[in-house]
Chains A and B, each alone.
Chain A
Amino acid sequence: MIEQFIAGLVTLFARVITAVRAEWGAHLPDLRPRVYFANHASHGDFVLVWTVLPKPVRRKTRPVAGAEYWLKDRIRRYIGTRVFNAVLVERDAEKRTADPIQQMATALDEGSSLILFPEGTRNLTEVPLLPFKSGLYRLALARPGAELVPVWIANLNRAMPKGELIPVPILCTVSFGMPVRLREGEEKTAFLERARASLLSLRPREHPRP
């Protein structure tokens, strides 16, 4: 109850600051378990995706996040596990007690959708999108039936750059693309490259600079 109230406050705040607008394109929100994979440049990224999802879909959509960050103190633990209901994975392979891919697959089996950042970390560079880690491929291999939906988050890194306290109310958009599926016998590199290209194609047109 209180968790839903906090979640409501967080999404309201996101709406007020960014006036976020969803571009669904041909993709429409659906209650089936899906994997939304998005570019990652700001701490607020998954909140923004979450905000534009319709409420019933949002309740069944869990972000995949780093355990070391969200388990650091009691407040984060509460928000991460109770409010956002995140699938917390250990990024450091040596400290792992559970297989992250198995954790994600279990969540999908339970009927949840996932929000995943296949770059593995926040992109603080000038290039639009870092190379993908192999997690997306291994998840697709584990659950070949799941639809992988590319999601491009535009401008949030401008509204809330790293290390800044006060956000600037720049308008943000969240664009959804056509689902990608692992093809029969597709190699890891080829699949990841295809998924990455489908995400990049959602990026708003770069303004031509002379």
Chain B
Amino acid sequence: MTPERQTIFLFLAIGCVLVAATAVGMVLARRRGDLPDPMVDNLNQRIRAWWLMVILIGIAFLFGRTGVIVLFAIASFTALREFITLTETRRGDHYALVAAFFIVLPVQYILIGMDWYGLYSIFIPVYAFLFMPIIAAIRADTTRFMERVAVTQWALMLAVFCVSHVPALLTLKIPGYEGRGLLLIAFLVLVVQSSDVLQYVWGKLFGEHRIAPTLSPSKTWEGFLGGIVTATVLGAFLWWLTPFTFIEAGAMALVVTLMGFFGGLVMSAIKRDRGVKDWGAMIEGHGGMLDRLDSVIFAAPVFFHLTRYFFAV
């Protein structure tokens, strides 16, 4: 199959799954009648968000590499503003924040567009890391200085650096896999997001023993194990999208689902610390961009570097 055909086939398959999910959601909503059921509402909201996500990614794919880079740059922007909103910045951080939003973020994505691995892989961990505190120090506001600098660094690392590793997959040169970078992105996003959904479903069906009750009451051992195993199997069966063999695809899927799970845990810890339930209110009743991206953020850089080390030239 040509990459184009594979992409079309993949989107058709996802479309079928979503149609089925939507049908199930409608049946559940009808059976419930007028009684309010937060679980069914939440399920239908999730399905709607999924449609939106698939449509957006589909449109980005139509525009190829530029489309994907722009889509994830916008995702980074939204995630960064959600993160910064929940932190306690002061007036002295203003220049540093302006630089983060309007210089560091666009430059990172332009570097990826330029295929400049040597710079985009260190731009935020080295240059932003050093220059952000310099900018903050020039303003001479020392109140909670270290805390404020650290929080801004974290925001850039998570919302910009990590997220940008999804479109960066397009820059990898994998022998025998030319022109198929979009499918690698589809593999990563599909495995991570379906792992989230499968953990949710397994947890709802069989969940009893909580993993971290204080952090995230909805995460259970049953959901975790069931979700990871099924998402790993799903990933293995998607090997035909990737440069990996069946076993390799399964191993990659296992790594990214685990990273995704721990990403969700870390982001929950931050939300708990800030005393909020969701990162934002972007989609009605559905939280913000970071609530959807938390697992991708932790999975993307590891997936990128494993693929680069073992498969790219």
Interface residues of A (CB under 8 A from B): 19, 21, 155, 158, 161-162, 164, 166, 168-171, 205, 207-208
Closest beta carbon of chain B to A146's beta carbon, Å: 31
Mostly, the A contact residues are loop
15 more contacts with CB within 8 A, not counting A166-B102, A171-B85, are A155-B85, A162-B91, A164-B94, A166-B98, A168-B97, A169-B81, A169-B101, A170-B84, A170-B97, A171-B81, A171-B82, A171-B280, A205-B275, A207-B273, A207-B274
- What CA separation (Å) do A21 and B77 show in the bound complex? 18
Beta-carbon contact of B84 and A168 below 8 Å: yes
In the complex, which residue of chain A has the Cβ closest to the Cβ of B98? A166
CB interface residues, B 244-280, toward A, < 8 Å: 273-275, 280
- What CA separation (Å) do A164 and B92 show in the bound complex? 11
List B contacts of A171 (CB < 8 A): 81-82, 85, 280
- What CA separation (Å) do A166 and B91 show in the bound complex? 13
List B contacts of A208 (CB < 8 A): 275
> B89 in the interface, Cβ–Cβ < 8 Å?
yes
- What CA separation (Å) do A70 and B273 show in the bound complex? 43
Interface residues of B (CB under 8 A from A): 77, 81-82, 84-85, 88-89, 91, 94, 97-98, 101-102, 273-275, 280-281
Closest beta carbon of chain B to A71's beta carbon, Å: 29
Q: What 6 A-B pairs have minimum CB-CB distances, sorted nearest first?
A: A171-B85, A168-B97, A161-B91, A169-B81, A166-B98, A170-B85
- What CA separation (Å) do A164 and B98 show in the bound complex? 10
List A contacts of B91 (CB < 8 A): 161-162
List B contacts of A207 (CB < 8 A): 88, 273-275
Closest beta carbon of chain B to A191's beta carbon, Å: 32
Residue contacts A-B, CB under 8 angstroms, 28 given: A19-B81, A21-B281, A155-B85, A158-B89, A161-B91, A161-B94, A164-B94, A166-B98, A166-B102, A168-B94, A168-B97, A168-B98, A168-B101, A169-B77, A169-B101, A170-B81, A170-B84, A170-B85, A170-B97, A171-B81, A171-B85, A171-B280, A205-B275, A207-B88, A207-B273, A207-B274, A207-B275, A208-B275
